[in-house]
Amino acid sequence: MQRVILTTLILLALVSCAPAPSSSSSSLPSTPPAQTYIENKGSDTIVNLALAWAERYQELHPEVRISVTGGGSGTGIAALINGTVDIANASRQIKPEEREKAEANGVTPVEFVIARDAIAVIVHPDNPVERLTLQQISDIYSGKITNWAEVGGEDRPIVRLSRETNSGTHVYFLEEVIRLGEKENKTLFSMDTLLLPSSEGIINEVRQNPNAIGYDGLGYVPPDLKTIAIARDADSPYVLPSVETVNDGSYPIARDLYMYTAGEPTGVVKEYLEWILSSEAQQIVRDLGFVPIVVP
């Protein structure tokens, strides 16, 4: 008898730690009419920006509901092709094969550049190095250059700082700077690159360590750190990142951020995209550390 009760209790304990079936979303307020609901999905780089826009827009237009999810640029575009979202966010341009697939599905993706993202390379203010070429930065991060003296600085070891591998910025930096945008180039980060979990960690270390080199989104760099001027190659001019140099294309480590709609947008989606290109929405772009395409 005792044993039976004991077993029952243990079984109960076991059952209670099994995950409860997730309650369906039926408890949400009744679905608003289709016209005022915008489904927005895609790039994780843009997800914070898209959320900030959505929040502000919903304050201005309480009748519109915008749902924003991440998952990556590919996920967003796939959802657009399948017709499950109204707007897909992407930190890269749509690939030709994705466009073909969309056309085959009866969807014509329409592209909007909604903001730009620039990566600044930063060093300690006492570091005499002012400028580097992309090739030099690549060699520093891949471990071919290990001393500041090799790029015109003091005789100090180079401490390389990077974001963690799950950061979109890390991947972008790997592909566009370390691999110089070459597809078949398989160069990796040097093994002793410090992988810091946050932008703040990188900025802190660069601020107090004259050996360090780091990179971060332009908007995150505080004015007391030194930003490096970068040239595409040895013959090109060295350019400092700014809203102007990013927008005229002369700063080499910058990319456009996109939104795609299925066919020319209409109704609320159209109004929303028009608002995104307004100076109020573009101010949010600047606040979040991206480069606005319309200077507010």
Where along the sequence are the contacts to another protein (CB under 8 A)? Answer: 2, 5-6, 9-10, 13-14, 17, 156-157, 159, 164-166, 171, 188-189, 191-197, 201, 204-205, 208-209, 211-212
CB of 107 to another protein, least distance (A): 25
Tokens at 35, concatenated = 């016209």
Residue 106 or 197: the one with the smaller Cβ distance to another protein is: 197
- What is the Cα–Cα distance from 205 to 194, expressed in whole angstroms? 10
Tokens at 292, concatenated = 């606005």
Residue 204 or 283: the one with the smaller Cβ distance to another protein is: 204
Tokens at 218, concatenated = 């332009």
Amino acid 103 reads E
Residue 199 or 211: the one with the smaller Cβ distance to another protein is: 211
Residue 192 or 248: the one with the smaller Cβ distance to another protein is: 192
Residue 179 or 286: the one with the smaller Cβ distance to another protein is: 179
CB of 268 to another protein, least distance (A): 32
Residue 188 or 295: the one with the smaller Cβ distance to another protein is: 188
Q: Which of 72, 14, 68, 18 is nearest to 45 (CA)?
A: 72
Residue 8 or 266: the one with the smaller Cβ distance to another protein is: 8
- What is the Cα–Cα distance from 47 to 72, expressed in whole angstroms? 9
CB of 187 to another protein, least distance (A): 11
CB of 56 to another protein, least distance (A): 26
CB of 123 to another protein, least distance (A): 13
Residue 262: beta bridge partners?
109
CB of 2 to another protein, least distance (A): 8
Residue 171 or 288: the one with the smaller Cβ distance to another protein is: 171
Task: For the chain, give the secondary structure using H, E and C.
Answer: CHHHHHHHHHHHHHHHHCCCCCCCHHHCCCCCCHHHEEEEEECHHHHHHHHHHHHHHHHHCCCCEEEEECCCHHHHHHHHHCCCCCEEEECCCCCHHHHHHHHHCCCCEEEEEEEEEEEEEEECCCCCCCEEEHHHHHHHHHCCCCEHHHHCCCCCECEEEEECCCCHHHHHHHHHHHCCCCCCCCCCCCCCCEEECCHHHHHHHHHHCCCEEEEEEHHHCCCCCEECEEECCCCCCCECCCHHHHHCCCCCCEEEEEEEEECCCCHHHHHHHHHHCCHHHHHHHHHCCCECCCCC
CB of 160 to another protein, least distance (A): 9
CB of 49 to another protein, least distance (A): 18
